[in-house]
Amino acid sequence: IEQEGVTVKSSSHFNPDPDAETLYKAMKGIGVGSQLLSHQAAAFTFPSSALTSVSPWGQQGHLCCIPAGTNEQAIIDVLTKRSNTQRQQIAKSFKAQFGKDLTETLKSELSGKFERLIVALMYPPYRYEAKELHDAMKGSRDDVSSFVDPGLALQDAQDLYAAGEKIRGTDEMKFITILCTRSATHLLRVKCTQNLHSYFAERLYYAMKGAGTRDGTLIRNIVSRSEIDLNLIKCHFKKMYGKTLSSMIMEDTSGDYKNALLSLVGSDP
């Protein structure tokens, strides 16, 4: 069941070294072809009169390397198709081979929502959760956030089930006590405890519904659930809203950001 829920799985025959090299070349600004051509042409010199001001050949007649820009698709192909554990190995290989921190290099090369998503993928899960909690306490997250006691939320979920669903009749006082004395965020946690996959489906839906997109919510839920149960969340999403998660992402996002999200989400149920 766990494997059925996962949209991002470990790559078979994984080797971090070529992946790190692919990322380096994708962000170096010089394509493999231009590098090779430069080396091959280094021994040849052309008369300066044959060169024009717009020529790729330098004043001494040597071929210059023309920066090709960042290859975003190559970054998507590597990082969204590797498990988090494999991404950490790629980062170590990147540092060993090129002496640079992969996450910091990604930050310097990318921008906007695409950068935010790709950088989120590079955090180990426990660090990502700690960062999101820190942001929540600073008030910088784009959804309702405050401290919740997970144990109390679980107990409340069990009490509500016992009071209203498990037995015939309803313990109205129990409902009143919980619903009137708990915070809104706590009650969201209770709802999450009752039906996990429906909860995340709802969070994703309302992150994109209406004017504007709550990108923090969208990124956080897709990144954090992609190696746990995103496939199961997708099934609930379709049942609840009559459309697929990927179709809504296609309607609401664009560019490399959209492509990376779709790669993480995978095929429709």
Model confidence over 101-112: pLDDT tens digits? 999 999 999 999
The backbone region for 268, taken as left when phi is positive above 0, alpha when psi lies in -120 to 50, beta otherwise, is beta
How would residue 133 be classed by pLDDT, with cut points 50, 70 and 90?
Answer: confident
Which amino acid is present at 79? Answer: L
How would residue 169 be classed by pLDDT, with cut points 50, 70 and 90?
Answer: low
The response to whether 252 counts as a known ligand-binding position is yes
| Whole-number pLDDT of residue 226 | 92
The response to whether 135 counts as a known ligand-binding position is no
Q: Has this prediction a pTM greater than 0.75?
A: no
Q: Is the pLDDT of residue 231 over 80?
A: yes
9-23, 50-64, 239-253: segment of lowest average pLDDT: 50-64
| Whole-number pLDDT of residue 28 | 74
For 240-249, what is the mean pLDDT?
96
How would residue 30 be classed by pLDDT, with cut points 50, 70 and 90?
Answer: very low
- The runs of H, that is alpha helices, within the chain are 2-5, 16-28, 32-41, 72-79, 84-98, 102-109, 112-122, 125-138, 150-164, 172-181, 184-194, 196-208, 215-225, 230-241, 245-252, 255-265
The backbone region for 139, taken as left when phi is positive above 0, alpha when psi lies in -120 to 50, beta otherwise, is left
Contact 238, 219 (CB under 8 A): no
How would residue 268 be classed by pLDDT, with cut points 50, 70 and 90?
Answer: confident
How would residue 177 be classed by pLDDT, with cut points 50, 70 and 90?
Answer: low
For 194-200, what is the mean pLDDT?
82
The response to whether 212 counts as a known ligand-binding position is yes
How would residue 257 be classed by pLDDT, with cut points 50, 70 and 90?
Answer: very high
CATH 1.10.10.10 fits 149-182, yes or no: no
The response to whether 208 counts as a known ligand-binding position is yes
| Whole-number pLDDT of residue 4 | 73
23-37, 229-243, 253-267: segment of lowest average pLDDT: 23-37
Mean pLDDT of the chain: 77
